[in-house]
Structure formats: structure tokens, C-alpha cells
Amino acid sequence: MDTSAVPDPAFHSALSLDPCYAGLSAPYLTPVAPTPLPHPRLVHFNAPLAAELGIDTGDQALVDILSGNRPWPAYAPVASVYAGHQFGNWVSQLGDGRALTIAEIRKPDGGRAELQLKGAGPTPYSRGADGRAVLRSSIREYLCSEAMHALGIPTTRSLSLVASPEPVQRETVETAAVVCRVAPSFVRFGQFEFFYHRGQHAQLAPLADHVIAAHFPHLANESDRYARWLEDVVERTARLIAQWQTVGFCHGVMNTDNFSILGLTLDYGPFGFMDAFRQHHVCNHSDYEGRYGYDSQPLIGQWNCSRLLQAALPLLSDNQDEAANIVTDIYERYAPAYSREAIRRWADKLGLREVRAGDTDLVSRLLTLLHRSKSDFTRTFRHLSRVRTDSDAPATGVREEIAELAAFDAWVADYRARLRAESNTDDAARAAGMNRVNPKYVLRNHLAQAAIERAESGDDSEVAALMRLLSRPYDEQPDMERYAAAPPDELRHLEISCSS
């Protein structure tokens, strides 16, 4: 859709701008205009999210704004500075190299939303790169952020995806795209690390106060607001990772600059939902040491929290020993918060009404069997709802993918006994509850790849089809059964790189 001739953009005046983050100004961010995107084509527009934001989907000029060809009225776009630990190594300056916040608005429900263009050209933090994103990775982020939202997992959102024939050099020549992503805030752990490691400790309090005032207002006037805020961040992060683990999601690049201060899933790169379950699955083929493998994600989440807490030391006390003690207490909240969230979610997936002693072992035994058999993670948990307590019949739909049948049958016997122990014998009600937490549809890599290949040829219909499908991941959708199938063997282990 080419929108070179558009009406005056004053149509957005009905939206309430709320330039809270932009008010921080330098040294936290830099005003920078996006680079125009030639011949923009609207691949997809997220109308339900637009309605939630109060944006009129009928506005003719919107594509130009969402492609970076026209500014949001009365808002100067900005890019943020930050640093971070990348694959465990300290990198002293990173920043929004290809992302621009183009608006901060107050939603009709009173909440805040920042709109950010990813792929809108270089910024002062681009480190010599072109500031563009390619259609391939943009489709993956656009689809997955909305898929995660529908799964109930905290995440940034996607408002629009605009493509262009502009060539972009990566491993090969690809074409450009811009995603407009939405979140209450895009502040990252790495923004605090930037100022701490540079010795600019006076810059920490204004940034923390902004975050607290905008997103933790109940703490704004408390004398211990920084400690209580950090406790919340650590526990949010722990709960987020537990949610990832229990849907079989691998992030791929869990650097501290990719961790949200609000506990949102942020920066979708070489992510993946596991098909064949592997405890040590690594979805990023650039992660040569497997630092961000599936089984490592909980500990990496805690390690990242430790980096944030180190950066926040000057906020907590002028006495170094006292600050260190406060940080230690906050750090130790992560593990129990993670364990509580994880076992509760595993129990829900198994249809257990309460958590009891032995449930962790029951889950561990099942995951070990899935690992040894390379069973499909999503399909296995979905099919477990077919296990009945009023019969000892084999667990159809699950047993077929298990290699160690005797061990699995023994597990099912113990699982039935556990269900009966809490009088959870209404099989139909339990199955319905399990199907509300075990998705039938996730964004498998081969599904995303099919949408990418069609969009690269100019056919955007598969992107739209996946958006509809993934907006209802728990529902039976009879005409979409093929999307719930395990991938063909040749597509089962697609590798994804950081290049985008």
C-alpha cells in the first residue's frame, strides 16, 4: 500500500499524548528522525490492538507514520542509550541502534503505551550498522509477540508490520521492514547498567524515579521505594521465565539489554517454541556454548537480575555493606518466586487442583521421558487431557510418541493415582481446564518460515492466517488442524540466527 499522497496528519489529535519517558532527555536518550522507507506496503495491521490504544484504523496517513515516513504529531522521536552483558560479556554501550520511540500515549483505559518503530533507520547507537530490520525477522517478531500475548505471557505487542522493496544486506541481500511494537515501557536492565559502570551514579535515581512514577506509582512516596521496586522486578522476572519454561519457549538471546524492567518478553530474535522436547535445547545457532539453552533460562534470568541489582547499589544506601545486604536479600527472592510460579503452572498443565509433595518429581519424570523420546512438547501436554481416572486404558495421543513405554505407563499409573488422591475424577471438567492452559497452537518455526516465504513473494495472506490462529491458541479450530501437527522431519530443527 503506497501512501505517498495523504491528508494532513492532525487526525491523531484526539489521542492523548503522554511524553513521560521523552521528558528524561539527555543523557538517557537522543532525538533522532526515522529514515524514510521507500514504497511501504502494509503487510498487516493489528486492528484489535489499535482499538485498545484508541487509534482510528481508518486513517489514511497511518501507514506513513508506522513506516517512519511521517512523524507522530507533536512528538519528536527518540532513541535510548543502554549497555549490557551479551553472552555473559560486558559491552559498555549498545542502545536503540534501529529502534525509535515515536509516541507515548494515554490509552482509553488510562494505561500508558509507548509506540516504537523497529527497523526505522540508524541512530547514534547503531555502531555503524544500517538501522534496518529485514522482513524475515520482522514477521517472526510481529507474530510471536502477539502469540505470546494470547498465551497470557507478559510481552511487548505488535501494532503493524510494513514491508519495503529496499534491499538490506545481511548474510544475503534481503528486503526491509518496520515493526511498530507497543509496551508500557521499553526500559531495560541495561539502561541502569550503562550509568552504573560509567560511574555516572547520579543518573540512576532520575531513571529509577521515572520508572517508579510511571509504572509503580504506589511506591513513589515510600522511603524504601528503590528496594521494594527491585523486589517487584526480580519477582516479575522469575515469574516470566517460569511461564516461558512451561510453554516450551526459548528466547535465544537473554542478554541483560534484552530484559525488560517490567518483566515483559522483549526483543524477539532467534526464539523458538520447542517441537521435539530437549532439556538442553538451544534455539540460537550463534549460541555456540549453549549459554541460553532451555534448561539454563531460569538461572540466566537470576544472573541477569544480579546484574541489575549491582547497577542499583548506589540507589539503596551510601553504606556499601548495607547496600550489599539489601541486594542479597532481594536477589534471594528470585528462586522461591520462580519455583512457586513454575510448579503451580506445571500442576495446572497436569490438571492438578493443588500442589502437593511429590508433584515436582512427577513433572520431572515426565519431562525426562519426553526428553529421551524427543516427544513433541506442545502436543504431549495437550493430549494429556485425554487420560481418564475412571479407566486404566492407555493414554492415547501421548503414548504413540514415547519410546520407553514401560516407564511411561508406570508414570501414567502414578499420575492417575495423584489425580484420584484429590478426588479430581470429573474427567470432562479436568480436560476442559487443562485445555485452557495447554495450547493447541504455538508459533512453530516451520509455520513462521512458511509465512515468511510467502510474504517475500508478495503474498501476505499467511501472516494474516497465523495472526487469526494464534489469537486463540487454546481453542479447537477444526479448519486449522494442520497447524497443530508436528512438523515434517526435515523441518523439525530449523536453526535461527541473530542476524536480522
Among 18, 96, 257, 376, the active-site one is 257
Distances (CA, A) of 494 to 217, 265, 490: 44, 22, 8
Spell out a b/e string for 460-470, using b for 16 or more CB atoms within 10 Å of the CB, else e.
Answer: bebbebbbebb
DSSP secondary structure letter of residue 277:
-
The dihedral of CA 345, 350, 352, 357: what is its sign? negative
**Under 8 Å CB-to-CB from 425, ≥6 apart: which residues?**
389, 390, 419
Integer Cα distance of 316 and 469 in angstroms = 47
**Side chain identity at residue 371, one-letter code:** H
All three cell numbers of 282, joined, read: 538451544
- Closest-CA residue to 237 (of 141, 346, 333, 345): 333
Neighbour-count burial of 102, counting CB atoms closer than 10 A to its CB (0-12 exposed, 13-18 middle, 19+ buried): buried
Question: Of all helices (H) and strands (E), which one includes residue 206?
Answer: helix 204-215
Active site residue 257: yes
- Closest-CA residue to 80 (of 145, 32, 120): 32
- Closest-CA residue to 251 (of 155, 183, 370, 364): 155
Q: Which residues are catalytic?
A: 257
